[in-house]
Amino acid sequence: MKPALNTPDWVLAALQERRQQDLMRSTITLDSPQVPHPQIHSQNYTAFCSNDYLGLANHPKLIKAMNDTAQAYGVGGGSSHLVCGHLAPHQALEEALADWLGYERVMLFSTGYMANLGVISALADKNRPVVQDKLNHASLIDGALLAQAPLRRYLHGNVTSAQKLLSKYSTAGLLITDGVFSMDGDIAPLADLSQLANQHDWMFMVDDAHGLGCLGENGRGCLSLAGLDAASLPILVGTFGKSFGTAGAFVATSHDYAEYLTQFARPYVYTTAMSPAIAGATLASLQLVQSVEGQERRERLARHIAYFRKRVQTLPVTLMPSNTAIQPIVVGDSKAAIKISERLKDLGIWCTAIRPPTVPVGSARLRITLSAAHSDEDLVLLCDSLERVLTANFLNEKR
């Protein structure tokens, strides 16, 4: 029998406060692969909360590539890239990504969070400030905090606000934004921000975790949509856990920046390299993203987005302005968002309510995410279910 642990009162109080505010989080276990129709608690659902935007997480070509690479190179990286953990699959993936995006170098990281912590903590410090969008991902904010850099956040998507903040500093620093904002689904004004950074001689960094693979020409994300290149966007972060359907992350940059990060990005220096099997699967995913099949999947996803927005705009809810796979419906109150999520589960739809602190207080929402792997029938079911749940009579049925 396990011994009882003496939990501090402040831990219990913090948990109780979360419960009272309807902000308690918990882990859900899937009994199936990451597919549009998962099994959860032995029940079948149609899920609209995964970031598997192209539906590649369970693709047979990725599974085969992972198995083949594991047979040839094993499963574990063994050590950090700089000791003896950089294997041929890692190198092949880095070179393929650099060629695809038009950068001199690519560096692999174990997660997107680690990539952002590593880059920002290496490039910013007490004398090199950070200015970033108010709705940037938590990892971008935490990177600046880790660097102990002066940090200011401009109004969301507002280039004028960013300009005012940059003008307050006498020394150049790091201007950072998400490409696609993970909770709102809108796209940053990258071309204008790039020009602003260039005018002030600031470094410009974009985290395009939710854009790469499913947006832009050949899936090259917000970089392509904004007409930017390696010169106008010198530091690009991407992840593999969304459109690529695998795990891990990368930084695309110049030779000089890559050499600097190799010396000073602590999460890169001191973390075991990603599994070579994952690198092999990700290379297969990249090839799919660039293929005819990848283009067809992007087109199917675009059709799903258009259909969803057309249907939901007639409902009495606030649908945020997004043309990406992320389609948030703002509810406001956390308890109401949870209630709607639970009613959707009753109808076989799995869509988690997103609440503070992930989103600002008063903006709890259903973060609906669409995938190319969804069928037309799945979209009809989702919209029909939302229409039913968002009527007052149905919400009153189980009070």
Q: Render pLDDT for 341-356 as a digit per residue (tens, 0 to 9).
A: 999 999 999 998 988 8
pLDDT digits 0-9 by tens, 240-271: 999 999 999 999 999 999 999 999 999 999 99
Catalytic residue among 110, 182, 341, 371: 182
Topology of domain 60-290, CATH? Aspartate Aminotransferase; domain 2 (3.40.640)
Q: Note whether 25-53+295-394 and 60-290 share their fold.
A: no
Binding-site residues for substrate sit at 25, 137, 358
What residue spans define the domains of the chain? 25-53+295-394, 60-290
Binding-site residues for pyridoxal 5'-phosphate sit at 112-113, 182, 210, 239
Catalytic residue among 81, 210, 304, 374: 210
25-53+295-394 belongs to which homologous superfamily? Answer: Aspartate Aminotransferase, domain 1 (3.90.1150.10)
Active-site residue 210, yes or no? yes
User: Looking at this protein, which amino acid is placed at residue 45?
Assistant: Y
| Whether the Cβ atoms of residue 39 and residue 30 lie closer than 8 Å to each other | yes
Number of H helices and E strands in the chain, helices first, is 15, 15
Phi, psi of 234 (to 5 degrees): -70, -20
List alpha helices for the chain, DSSP H. 9-20, 60-73, 88-101, 112-123, 138-147, 159-167, 190-200, 221-225, 255-264, 266-269, 276-290, 292-312, 334-346, 376-389, 392-397
Nearest to 250 by CA among 238, 265, 268: 238
Catalytic residue among 59, 86, 90, 242: 242
d(CA 237, CA 208): 6
| Whether the Cβ atoms of residue 253 and residue 104 lie closer than 8 Å to each other | yes
Other Cβ atoms within 10 Å of 282 Cβ, number = 29
pTM of the model: 0.93
Instruction: Write down the mean pLDDT value for the chain.
Output: 94
pLDDT score of 3: 67
Residue spans of the chain under pLDDT 50: 393-395, 397-399
pLDDT score of 316: 83
